[in-house]
Homo-oligomer: A and B are copies of this chain.
């Protein structure tokens, strides 16, 4: 069976991302959140008063998609809004939300350890910087190398 995709970097990247994300979601299931919710909660907890738009900007999520996401977190009592001015709100984590963030943090750290453990020690540093080079908005050329 010939798999013409096996040696494609982009393909391996997608499979690795999909698989590890699924693993993380299984871990997070216990707390009733998905990885996106977890990311937003973490971001709010470490940036008290951050706006919905700013979160979207950092995480690469459209403003329009942030609205129902934050609304869900608010309904569950994990997050509260405080008006900054007439049009924007600062988001904060509630005490319940803080408990959830603690659980999420532990879970994500465990997940991270699990990922890192699969990579030979000697490759970790190179992997890390190569990965960042792929998506970080640094200038890059189309030349072969």
Which of B1, B21, B117 has a CB less than 8 Å from the CB of A145?
B117
Interface residues of A in 87-144 (CB under 8 A from B): 108, 111-124, 126-135, 140-144
Q: Interface residues of A: mostly helix, strand, loop or mixed?
A: helix
Q: A2-B47, A115-B10, A145-B121 are in contact. Are A16 and B131 (CB under 8 A)?
A: yes
Asked whether A31 is an interface residue with its Cβ less than 8 Å from the other chain, the reply is no
In the complex, A141 Cα to B133 Cα: how many Å?
28
Instruction: Give, as a whole number of angstroms, the nearest-CB distance from A116 to chain B.
Output: 6
By the criterion CB–CB under 8 Å, are B4 and A43 in contact? Answer: yes
A: which residues have CB within 8 A of B? Answer: 1-5, 8-21, 24, 35, 39, 42-43, 45-47, 50, 54, 58-60, 108, 111-124, 126-135, 140-145
